[in-house]
Amino acid sequence: MHIYFMGIGGTAMGNVAILLKSKGHQISGSDQNLYPPMSDKLEENLIEVFSGYDEKRLESLAPDLVVVGNVIGRGNVEAEWLLEKRAYPFISLPQLIGEQLIGNRRSIVITGTHGKTTTTAWITHLLKSHNQKPGHLIAGVLQDESSSVDIGSEKAPFVIEGDEYDSAFFDKRSKFIHYFPTTLIINNIEFDHGDIFRDLQDIQRSFSHVLRLVPQNGHVLINSDDPHLVQWVRDEAHCKVWTVGLDDTANLQITEFTESETGSRFQLILDGDEWTQINWRHPAIYNARNAAMGLLATALQVHPDNPLDFQTTAFETFAGVKRRQQLLFEGQKFKVFEDFAHHPTAVRETVQSYKNRFPEYQIWVAFEPRSNTSRSPAFQEKWAKVFQATNKVMLGAIHRIHLLQPNQRLDTAKIVSELQAQGKDATAFSSNEELFEHLVNSIEKTDTPTLVLILSNGSFDGIAQRTTDFLKTL
Among 88, 113, 148, the domain-final residue is 88
Provide the 10 A C-beta neighbour count for residue 69. Answer: 22
Examine the pLDDT at 242 and tell me if it is beyond 90: yes
Secondary-structure percent of the chain, ordered helix, strand, coil, rounded to 5: 35, 25, 40
Q: In the predicted model, is pLDDT for residue 195 greater than 80? A: no
Cα torsion at 120, 125, 126, 128 (round to 10°)?
Answer: 130
**Which residue from 42, 34, 76 is spatially nearest to 58, judged by alpha carbons?**
76
CA 314 to chain CA centroid, Å, is: 22
Looking at residues 444-462, what average pLDDT do you find?
A: 93
Same domain membership, residue 387 and residue 346: yes
* CA dist list (Å): 29 to 7, 201, 241, 281: 7, 36, 41, 38
- pLDDT for 145 equals 61
pLDDT tens-digit series, residues 342-376: 788 888 988 999 999 999 999 999 999 998 888 98
- Average pLDDT value for residue range 149-176: 92
Residues 164 and 273 in one domain: yes
CB atoms within 10 A of CB 73: 10
CATH number of the domain to which 50 belongs: 3.40.50.720
CATH number of the domain residue 357 falls in: 3.90.190.20
Q: Side by side, which strands form the sheet with 2-6?
A: 48-51, 26-31, 2-6, 65-68, 90-92
- For residue 194, what pLDDT band results from cuts at 50, 70 and 90? low
Q: Both 311 and 357 in a single domain?
A: no
User: What is the pTM assigned to this prediction?
Assistant: 0.82
Residues 446 and 301 in one domain: no
Residues 361 and 468 reside in one and the same domain: yes
Question: Same domain for 415 and 304?
Answer: no
What is the model's pLDDT at position 439? 97
User: How far apart (Å, rounded) are the C-alpha atoms in residues 71 and 165?
Assistant: 11
Q: Which amino acid type is present at position 108? A: I
Is residue 180 within 8 Å of residue 202, measured between CB atoms? Answer: no
How sure is the predictor about 224, in pLDDT bands with cuts at 50, 70 and 90? very high
What are the pLDDT digits (tens) for 274-296?
999 988 888 888 889 989 999 99
Per-residue pLDDT averaged across 364-390, rounded? 91
Q: pLDDT for 123-140, tens place per residue?
A: 999 999 888 999 999 877
Query: Domain count of the chain?
Result: 3
In this prediction, residue 193 carries a pLDDT of 67
Question: CATH number for the domain including 268?
Answer: 3.40.1190.10
Say whether both 276 and 341 belong to one domain: no
Domain co-membership, 441 together with 293 = no
How far apart, in whole angstroms, are the C-alpha atoms of residue 15 and residue 34?
14
Dihedral sign of CA atoms 167, 172, 175, 181 in order: negative
Q: pLDDT tens, 70-95?
A: 899 999 999 999 999 999 999 999 99
Question: What is the spatial distance between Cα 141 and Cα 134, in angstroms, rounded to a whole number?
Answer: 17
- Its domain, for residue 13, covers 2-88
Pairing of strands 107-111, 48-51: unpaired
Q: How many CA atoms lie within 13 A of 224 on its CB side?
A: 19
pLDDT tier at 181 (50, 70, 90 boundaries)? very high
Q: Which of 310, 309, 290 is nearest to 298 (CA)?
A: 310
Q: According to the model, what pLDDT value does residue 319 have?
A: 72
Are 223 and 109 within one domain? yes
Q: What is the mean pLDDT of residues 6-17?
A: 91
How many helices (H) and strands (E) would you count in the chain? 14, 23
Looking at the structure, tell me whether residues 383 and 426 fall in a common domain: yes
Q: Would you mind telling me the total number of residues written for the chain in this entry?
A: 474
Q: Residue 7: which pLDDT band, with cuts at 50, 70 and 90?
A: very high
Say which range, 193-197, 252-256, 408-412, 465-469, has the weakest mean pLDDT: 193-197
- Do 361 and 309 share a domain, yes or no? no
Question: Do 201 and 265 fall within a single domain?
Answer: yes
Contacts of 227 (CB under 8 A, 6+ apart): none
Among 67, 88, 109, residue at a domain's last position: 88
Q: Left if phi > 0, otherwise alpha if psi is -120 to 50, otherwise beta: which for 6? A: beta
How would residue 434 be classed by pLDDT, with cut points 50, 70 and 90? very high
Q: Mean pLDDT, to the nearest integer, of 11-22?
A: 90
The tens digit of pLDDT for each residue in 407-431 reads 989 999 999 999 999 999 999 999 9
Question: What is the residue-wise DSSP string for 245-301?
Answer: ESSTTSSEEEEEEEEETTEEEEEEEETTEEEEEEEES--SHHHHHHHHHHHHHHHHH
Last-in-domain residue among 88, 120, 155: 88
Nearest C-alpha neighbor of 280 from the set 260, 296, 298, 265: 265
